[in-house]
């Protein structure tokens, strides 16, 4: 299986690339900066240069050609302003979903955010971010050609993963390690029965594999 990850140099993406290549998958990560290529190669992934803020749907669909799964893990980052929340957290996500559908990719995983809501009020940067993520999620739900799953982690930490989580439609706020987010994404890749679900994720007591099987109805 070929898997293409948008935001390939992100902290979650690099962790996910290591997990997926360890499972024997062919993984490509989309990056804007060629200097990041070696980090992806060390994680076992193929670096692909592309700026999702300016690329066309046709160009990105070409990158996704032959992939069976697409993962959107890109983000404007905490230091960015409101403009890039729109161009990356919304615009690039919409573009990536449209390109995946055009390329015939079936499985699509969206790394969203707890609290994402296209109608979220407020004008602070984080308010704009939550609206942007919500709009991207809403758009993905309209892509009938994709078997999508939306993952909404709580507050991200760099603590070592425990492999024990809470994964439900509504968990309420809480922390979760980036290690465990990556582990859940890897498991979701192998669990297409979670298609059509929007899931919140925080630390908990249930092993990742069991939690994913539970929400899949297995």
Give 140-180 as a 3 state SS string.
Answer: HHCCCCCEEEEEEECEEECCCCCCEEEEECCCCCCEEEHHH
What confidence tens digit (pLDDT) does each residue in 128-176 have? 999 999 999 999 999 999 999 999 999 999 999 999 999 999 999 999 9
For residues 106 and 40, is the Cβ–Cβ distance under 8 A?
no
What confidence tens digit (pLDDT) does each residue in 47-64 have? 999 999 999 999 999 999
Report the alpha-carbon distance of residue 5 to residue 41 in Å, rounded: 14
Distances in Å between the Cα of 88 and the Cα atoms of 4, 98, 184 are 17, 14, 23
| Structure token digits, residue 211 | 């939690």
Q: Is 25 a catalytic residue?
A: no
Confidence of residue 78 (pLDDT cuts 50, 70, 90): confident
DSSP track, 66-98: T-SEEEE-----TT--HHHIIIIIIIIHHHHHH
The mean per-residue pLDDT over the stretch 114-122 comes to 95
Q: What global pTM score does this model have?
A: 0.96
- The pLDDT of residue 218 is 66
Catalytic residue among 129, 136, 140, 203: 129
């Amino acid at each position: 299986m070929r898997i293409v990850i948008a935001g390939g140099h992100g902290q979650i993406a690099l962790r996910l690339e290591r997990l997926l290549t360890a499972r024997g998958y062919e993984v490509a990560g989309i990056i804007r900066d060629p200097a990041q290529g070696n980090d992806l190669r060390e994680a076992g992934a193929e670096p692909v240069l592309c700026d999702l803020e300016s690329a066309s749907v046709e160009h990105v669909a070409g990158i996704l050609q032959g992939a069976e799964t697409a993962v959107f893990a890109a983000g404007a980052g905490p230091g960015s302003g409101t403009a890039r929340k729109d161009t990356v957290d919304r615009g690039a996500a919409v573009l990536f979903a449209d390109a995946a559908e055009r390329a015939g990719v079936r499985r699509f995983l969206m790394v969203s955010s707890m609290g994402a809501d296209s109608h979220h009020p407020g004008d602070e940067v984080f308010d704009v971010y939550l609206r942007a993520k919500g709009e991207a999620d809403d758009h993905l739900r309209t892509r009938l050609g994709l078997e999508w799953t939306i993952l909404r982690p709580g507050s991200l930490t760099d603590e070592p993963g425990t492999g024990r989580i809470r994964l439900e439609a509504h968990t309420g706020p809480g922390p979760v390690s980036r290690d465990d987010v990556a582990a859940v994404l890897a498991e979701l890749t192998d669990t297409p029965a979670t298609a059509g679900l929007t899931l919140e994720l925080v630390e908990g007591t249930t092993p990742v594999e069991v939690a994913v099987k539970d929400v899949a109805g297995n």
